[in-house]
Structure 1
Amino acid sequence: MDPYHEGSRAVQTRVGVREAADHVGRSIGPDIRDVAAAFLGLQPMLVIGAADGAGRIWSSLLTGQPGFVRATGRRRISVAGGLPESDPLAAALAAEGTAVGTLALDPRTRRRMRLNGTAGPTAHGFAVEAEQVFSNCPRYLQKRELRPSVPARTGAARRGRELTPDQEGLIRAADTFFLATVAADGADASHRGGNPGFVRVLSPNRLSWPDYDGNSMFLSLGNLEGDPRAGLLFLDWSTGTTLQLAGTATTAFGAHGRTTRFTVAEVVETPHASPLRWSAPEYSPANPPLPETA
C-alpha cells in the first residue's frame, strides 16, 4: 500500500522528490520493531498531536520516568499517566478512537521516532494502536543533555487569542518546535528545528518559518494541502514552560524555497508544565544560516 495520501504526493511531485519519497516510504509500516521498542522505553517525554472536541489541532507534551511509554505489542504502545485536565487534548485522549500522531525525540542522542495511529483510554493512561511507525534522520535536531528533574510545580494555564510580548520572545529565541497536522486518514506530529530566529513573529497572531529540505516525505505539508488546521508546541527547555498554539497554516512555494505561514487562533501557556530540565543546545551542523535582515 502507498504510505502517502494524495496531499503528500502532490507536494512531492511539485518539489520533484517523488522517487526519493518512494525510497524512504519503504520504511513506513505498522510494526514496532525491537530497536524501536527499546528506544521508546528509554524516553522521558513524548509529543502528541490531535484534534480537540471543537476540531482545533493541538500539540501537547507528556513526560514521565523512562518506561512510561512502552511497546506492549508489535502494533501497540501504552502511555502511563496522561495530560493534566488543563491541557487542550486531555478530553480527546480520554475518548475512544482519537486519531493521534506521536513523536518520541531524544535530544541526548539526536534520534527521533514517529508513531501515528488511534488512541483510547486504559486503566492507567492511554494506548495507541499503531498504523504508521518510522524514524527520521537527525537533521535540524539540537543536542541537549538532561539535567536533574525538579519537583512538579505546574502553574495555572494562561489562555489567550494572540501572543503576548513575552510569548513572542520565547518564539523568537526558539531553536525547536513541534507541529501537529491532520488529514482524513489520521494525525501526525513532527519536529521543526533551526538556529534561533528561524521562526519569525510577524504580528501577535502571525508566524512564519522556512521549510528546510528533509526526508522528502512531506507528511506535514501534505496534510496542510487538504486541511490547514495545525497545532504548534514551543518548549522552554530550561524552565519546562510550554506554549501551545492552535490555528491554521499555509505554505508558499517559491523558486528559492518554501515558507510556511501560521495564523494564531488560540494560545495556551503553562508555566513549568514539564519537570524536565535540559542543558543549553549544541546546534545541529545541518541548520542553515539565517538570512541577513536590514
Structure 2
Amino acid sequence: MTNITATPALPWHEGEISLQRDAGVAERMAEVGRRVIRDWMPDQHRAFFAQLPFVVLGSVDPAGDAWATLRANMPGFMHSPTPTSLEVNLARDPGDPAEAGLEDGDAVGLLGIELHTRRRNRANGTVRRVDENGFTLAVEQSFGNCPQYIQMRRFDFTRAPDRLQPTESVQQLDPRDDRARKMIATADTFFVASYADRPDGTRQVDVSHRGGKPGFVHISEAGVLTVPDFAGNLFFNTLGNFRINPRAGLVFVDFATGDLLQITGIPEVILDGPEIAAFRGAERFWRVTPTRILYRPAALPLRWTDEPDGASPRSLATGDWAALTP
C-alpha cells in the first residue's frame, strides 16, 4: 500500500473559505480539508480511474473561458504509474473546445465518475503533454466525492473510441435554440468546470457533477440558466471559484445519443431570495448567462441506459420549478 501522508496545508482558497464562512462551517471545513484533500492519489483512486470508459475534464482556453467536456476511450486508457501522476491516453479532438486548454503546462480538473455504481473521485493538476495521443496529469489535489444526486446508468460503446466526429458537425447555437433548451430543460445531470487563479500565480481548475430531478435546471426566455444548489459536502469548489472568478463551463449529455451541449458563460451566486426557501432542498442558487454554446452531435462513442429504480433518492427528495409557478 502507498504510504504517503496528506498535505498539512489548508487546501481551500479565499473564495471557498468565504462561502464556508457564509454557511457557518469554516472552522470545521479547515479540519476536514486537511484530512481529505491530498496532493497524491490513494491506491483506491488510482485503480478506479483505470477502470473507467470516460472522464470528465475541465479546462480553460487561451481567452480565459472555462469548458467542461466528456472524453471516452476503452477502460485502461487512464492509469497511474505513481501516486502523483495519472497518464491519460486520449487523442486530440479538434471539435472539442476544451482541447484548447489541454496544452503542456495548463491547469486542468478531472472527474472520474462511474454512473452504474455512483462512485466518483476528483483530481486536479497540471498537464504534462506527452504527444498528440495523450498527456500526464501532475496531481496537485486528489479527493473523493459522495454518491449523492447521481442517476444510475449503464454504458455501451457504439463505435470505436478513436472514430471522432468531424469538426464540421459542431454547431454554434443561440441560447434560445430549441435543441439547446430541450437538452437543458429535460436534464437530470450536467457537469460544470470553474477555476481560480491563486495569489501565488498558480491556477486551480475544478470540474464537478450536478444532478437533480429532470428539469432541475431552469432556462429563461433569454437563455439564462438557474441551478438550485442542494446540500453537499460544503467544499464549495465550484461556487468558491465563481466568487473569485466569474467564469463557468457546463456540459449537458444526451445519454441516449451521445450528443454534447457545451456552454461557457458568466456565473452569479445567489445566497438570498424567496425562491431558495420555496425550492425544496435548495440552499442557494446560481445562474449562468451563456456567452457561447456549442452542440456536438454523437460526440461520444458511448450510450447509456437508465437503471431500473436508479434515480437518486436525494434527487427525488428535492423540489422542482413547477412548484414555484403561481
- TM-score (ref. length: structure 2): 0.86
For 1:212, the equivalent position in structure 2 comes to 230
Report deviation, 1:69: 1.2
Return the structure number with greater helix share.
Answer: 2
For 2:106, the equivalent position in structure 1 comes to 98
Q: Which amino acid aligns with 1:284?
A: S
Q: Which amino acid aligns with 2:50?
A: G
Report deviation, 1:203: 2.6
Report deviation, 1:23: 4.3
Where relative contact order (Cα < 8 A, 6+ residues apart) is larger, the structure is 1
**CA distance in 2: counterparts of 1:204 and 1:61, whole angstroms:** 27
The answer to whether the aligner puts 1:113 opposite 2:124 as a matched pair is no
For 2:20, the equivalent position in structure 1 comes to 12
**CA distance in 2: counterparts of 1:22 and 1:136, whole angstroms:** 17
> Contact 1:181/1:220 (CA < 8 Å) preserved in 2?
yes
> Contact 2:50/2:77 (CA < 8 Å) preserved in 1?
yes
For 2:69, the equivalent position in structure 1 comes to 60
Q: Which amino acid aligns with 2:296?
A: T
**CA distance in 2: counterparts of 1:88 and 1:172, whole angstroms:** 23
Q: Which amino acid aligns with 1:44?
A: P
> Contact 2:250/2:263 (CA < 8 Å) preserved in 1?
yes
Which 10-residue stretch deviates more, 233-242 or 200-209? 200-209
For 1:182, the equivalent position in structure 2 comes to 195
**CA distance in 2: counterparts of 1:23 and 1:243, whole angstroms:** 38
Which 10-residue stretch deviates more, 284-293 or 35-44? 284-293
Q: List runs of 5+ in structure 2 lacking aligned partners.
A: 1-8, 198-202, 278-282
SS at match of 1:286: helix
**CA distance in 2: counterparts of 1:111 and 1:84, whole angstroms:** 27
Change (3 A) 1:153 1:115: closer
Report deviation, 1:248: 0.8
The answer to whether the aligner puts 1:290 opposite 2:320 as a matched pair is yes
Report deviation, 1:161: 4.5
For 1:202, the equivalent position in structure 2 comes to 220
> Contact 1:62/1:82 (CA < 8 Å) preserved in 2?
no
**CA distance in 2: counterparts of 1:208 and 1:183, whole angstroms:** 21
Query: After superposition, what is the alpha-carbon deviation per residue over 1:124-162, rounded to whole angstroms, capped at 9, x for unaligned?
Result: 311110100000100111111123433546361101342
Q: How many residues align?
A: 293
Residue of 287, 290, 294 corresponding to 1:268: 294
For 2:165, the equivalent position in structure 1 comes to 154
**CA distance in 2: counterparts of 1:161 and 1:21, whole angstroms:** 40
Report deviation, 1:200: 0.3
Report deviation, 1:116: 0.4
**CA distance in 2: counterparts of 1:276 and 1:32, whole angstroms:** 27
- TM-score (ref. length: structure 1): 0.95
> Contact 1:7/1:225 (CA < 8 Å) preserved in 2?
yes
**Percentage of pairs with the same residue:** 36
Report deviation, 1:205: 2.8
| Higher gyration radius (CA) | 2
Q: List runs of 5+ in structure 1 lacking aligned partners.
A: none
Report deviation, 1:92: 2.4
